[in-house]
Chains A and B, each alone.
Chain A
Amino acid sequence: MDSTVESTGTEGKTWGGGNKPLNASYGKMMMWFFIVSDALTFSGFLAAYGFSRFKFIKEWPIADEVFTHVPFLHGQELPMIYVAFMTFILIMSSVTMVLAVDAGHHMNKAKVTFYMFLTIIGGAIFVGSQAWEWATFIQGDYGAVQTKGGNILQFGEYVTVDGEEKFKRISIDDFAVAQKGDRAQHERKNGLWFVTEGSLPPYSVNEIYTGLAANDNIRVRTQIINEEGEKTVLSRAESLQQIKDNGKLVVKGANLHVNEYGTSLFADFFFFITGFHGFHVFSGVVINIIIFFNVILGTYERRGSYEMVEKVGLYWHFVDLVWVFVFTFFYLV
């Protein structure tokens, strides 16, 4: 550098470039700036989520009833367990990352390699878990009927467990009665050529209504939350009335248009925010892999500083930090 750059006479002065004004290197400071802007992006999303939730405060889906599945434990309702596991995995990978940074400060190449490897594994497990969570959410479990006004009507019955009356959900698969004369899915090979439509719902509203009328125990549950913090269950007569008058579409699972768990905005925000976070984790894993190979190749050993690991570490911790908030606002509150 000395041979190519003329002396400017400002060396050593605070803002002259002669020293580091905030005692942080350029790269680290820029990573912090990026993190600030990214934090504001995420808080924008979460604030929008909060807006919609406050708008529909009396009918927002109850997270404990939506996210109840754990892999390999089919049919059991275990709210929170799986997300808690995911959170722990991500915090754990944050720990291995900070251990890698620490090892880097001691110029210990073997340890940096090992901890970076563990971090990548943790990140991969997290992304995989999120994919599973999405798949379960998209597939849905009980199914519901959407009304003309876009409200969701779910089904269930009262059962007595340990002397306590409880509302237990029933899947539409268990009571819908097949009817004749239902329309078939339009394919591009018949009718209007080369025009297709999306897959039809599993049942028609008529099939659901017939099934509901045939089973005296089944009741409809609306999305309105009552004073006890539970969704309102209608009487038998009201149930039949609602489905007959207002039922429009049978919904199973969730996508960007419909959502069997309640307000469709809930699914939209779920996909958008956890998706955006998942994208961050994914890119974090990719960057970690690049750095991992650089560590193995000895790039930072030759450079004499493992600061690059520290910078990636900042990003990785940030991803963990965001998850802490997503976890709170989607699953806890």
Chain B
Amino acid sequence: MAHEHKLEIFRGLWKFKSNTQKIWGVLAFLTLITAIEVGLGIYKAELPDFFVASFLGLKVLNWIFIILTIVKAYYITWDFMHMRDETKALRRMVVWTTVFLICYLMFILLQEGGYVYDIYFTNDPLIKRDF
């Protein structure tokens, strides 16, 4: 059984000679992203206002973290789990199902959490929290 690997990442921008080399390349990329995340995490307090501004209910910094995480997840799935080499049908079966259901779940629960917060933190005299 032949094991064909697609040996390029970033849509062909970075080509590798062998599968082993591709693995190390992806590791380098994932490490870089983790380093950026940790750096932003450590110097959270000293970052310019741009990062603290709110965008769609979350801080820009948190959006950056989430996007970087999804990028990492993509390369782990595509290159480490060899999703890149699977048929299109299998890929879509796994990825689209999961992504759709997770987005749905996240939306419902976060929306609800925000709603409960709004109820709790109104100045309603019947709700006492600081005691």
Contact with B along A68-99 (1 / 0, CB 8 A): 00000000000111001001100110110111
| Residues of A281-314 whose CB lies within 8 A of B | 305, 310, 313-314
Give the number of residues in B that approach A within 8 Å (Cβ atoms).
56
Indicate if A317 sits at the interface (CB-CB under 8 A).
yes
Contact with B along A257-280 (1 / 0, CB 8 A): 000000000000000000000000
A32, A52, A91, A105: the one contacting B30 at CB < 8 Å is A91
User: B106: nearest residue on chain A (CB-CB)?
Assistant: A47
A57, A80, A87: the one contacting B117 at CB < 8 Å is A57
A58 to B117, alpha carbons, bound, how many Å?
Answer: 9
Taking the nearest CB of chain A, how far is it from the CB of B65, in angstroms?
5
| Residues of B87-107 whose CB lies within 8 A of A | 87, 89-90, 93-94, 97-98, 101-102, 105-106
A24 to B88, alpha carbons, bound, how many Å?
Answer: 12
| A contact residues around B31 at 8 Å (CB) | 88, 91
Indicate if A26 sits at the interface (CB-CB under 8 A).
no
Given contacts A53-B113, A87-B34, A105-B3, contact A321 B76 (CB under 8 A): yes
User: A83: nearest residue on chain B (CB-CB)?
Assistant: B38
Indicate if B13 sits at the interface (CB-CB under 8 A).
no
A317 near B129: Cβ-Cβ < 8 Å? no
A94, A331, A333: the one contacting B76 at CB < 8 Å is A94
B90 near A23: Cβ-Cβ < 8 Å? yes
Indicate if A43 sits at the interface (CB-CB under 8 A).
yes
Indicate if B116 sits at the interface (CB-CB under 8 A).
yes
Given contacts A36-B94, A50-B106, A98-B80, contact A333 B62 (CB under 8 A): yes
A94 to B65, alpha carbons, bound, how many Å?
Answer: 21
A51 near B113: Cβ-Cβ < 8 Å? yes
A47, A58, A84, A324: the one contacting B72 at CB < 8 Å is A324
B41 near A80: Cβ-Cβ < 8 Å? yes
User: A315: nearest residue on chain B (CB-CB)?
Assistant: B81
A229 near B52: Cβ-Cβ < 8 Å? yes
Given contacts A22-B86, A320-B76, contact A50 B113 (CB under 8 A): yes
| Residues of A99-138 whose CB lies within 8 A of B | 99, 101-102, 105
| B contact residues around A80 at 8 Å (CB) | 38, 41-42
Per CB-CB distance, the 8 closest pairs between chain A and chain B, nearest first, are: A54-B113, A51-B113, A149-B131, A51-B109, A22-B90, A328-B69, A47-B109, A105-B3
New contact pairs (5) apart from A22-B87, A314-B81, CB-CB < 8 Å: A39-B98, A40-B102, A91-B30, A91-B31, A92-B27
